[in-house]
Chains A and B, each alone.
Chain A
Amino acid sequence: MNPYNNTNPFGTGPDYFESFQAKLGGRIEAYEELKNEAPLLSSIPRYNPFEVPAHYFDELPTLIQEKCAAPEKVSAFEWLKMLFRPNFAVPVLTVIVVAVAGIRYLDQGIQGSSPVAEEISVEEQLQAIDESTIIEALASASVNESEADYENENIKEYLLDNHIEDINLNTEL
């Protein structure tokens, strides 16, 4: 009895043989086309002339996993760029405008209240002053006025005595 049952343990992808001829035909067609269009190019062996450092592809997946696990760093330049993006800049500018407007409004409010405060304080001050003090102030003001009148009269007499007329006085002045 044959222990080996002569079955093929290997398999192929679905529809492999059905599509093989079409695939092969495509490659031959491309080769012939290149040979006609670019004979020099078609004569050059087609292989990869570049190399990679030893074990590069073995180590790369681990390196990439480490980088993906690290927290995302945003550089200062990226932060600046982010500030100017519309979806970030618009709310930031809105907040700034509202804050500035609010500060100006509050400032105006404070300034507006001070004349009223001054009026109240002046009235309060007047109410606080004794009547006798006011009478004395008015009396001294009237005395001063009479003294000023007296002086004016003296000046007139001087001018008349010295024959200085108004016209000349005005000219001199």
Chain B
Amino acid sequence: MGDKELLQQFRNPDTRNYAFNLLVREYQKKLYWHIRKILIDHDDTDDVLQNVFIKVWRGLDNFKEESQLYTWLYRIATNESITFLNQKKKRAGVPMDEVSHFLAANLESDHYFKGDEIQAKLQKAILTLPDKQRIVFNMKYFDEIKYEEMSQILDTSVGALKASYHHAVKKVEEYLKTH
């Protein structure tokens, strides 16, 4: 079912629940992994993902269709993840510049991380990046999202995203060389 049809069905009270169920099944994995790469921890990801879909449920009637549905969903997921991360850092009393240690500790204690040593090292390298740059790196390196789509999701110019990714690659490479 295309986005247009999905939205029509959602706006019909008789088929609203059915349409929403379809939407969740369609996008849950993509959004889950996008959030997981930001938050690392499964439980945190689960919390945020549920909040995202509840927000979607409440806000989908007002979705103006100026962008693709997928772009809108990703944007909500990104914003919710960053908000959650900042709140968690604040509660833990972690200074903003020491977040890499904080998240790396989460990585090591995560039961659902099954990577080998080199993967752990790569993830730690990625965690040294500032939050937004980390998101750009993950979206390009792992998800291979086009810069034009990323630009709509993150509300940043294509040029800025290319520069951000370029710098992120350099930093990750430097970390892998020195650790």
Chain A residues with CB under 8 Å of chain B are 27, 30, 34, 37-41, 44, 46-53, 56-57, 60-61, 63-65, 67-68
Contact = CB atoms under 8 A, between A and B. Distances in A.
Contacts of A61: 21, 24-25, 28
A64 B54 contact: yes
B56 to A, nearest CB: 9
Interface in B27-53: 28-29, 32-33, 36-37, 42, 46, 49-50, 53
Q: Interface residue tally of chain B, by bracket?
A: 35 or more
Pairs A-B, 5 closest by C-beta atoms: A49-B115, A38-B173, A49-B119, A68-B57, A61-B24
30 contacts: A37-B169, A37-B170, A37-B173, A40-B173, A40-B177, A41-B122, A41-B169, A41-B172, A47-B119, A48-B33, A48-B142, A49-B113, A49-B123, A50-B110, A50-B113, A50-B115, A56-B46, A57-B28, A57-B32, A60-B49, A61-B24, A61-B28, A63-B50, A64-B24, A64-B50, A64-B54, A64-B57, A65-B21, A68-B53, A68-B54
A40 B78 CA distance: 29
Contacts of B92: none
Chain A binding surface, main DSSP class: helix
Contacts of A68: 20, 53-54, 57
B141 interface: yes
A83 B35 CA distance: 32
A38 B24 contact: no
B176 interface: yes
B114 A51 contact: yes
A76 to B, nearest CB: 18
Contacts of A46: 141-142
A65 B23 CA distance: 11
Given A61-B28, A63-B50, A67-B54, A38 B114 contact: no
B166 interface: yes
B17 interface: yes
B125 to A, nearest CB: 8
Contact of A60 (B24, B114, B123): B24
Contact of B112 (A52, A63, A65): A52
B170 A51 contact: no
B118 interface: yes
Nearest to A62: B21
Q: Which of B29, B36, B116, B173 has the most CB of A within 10 A?
A: B173
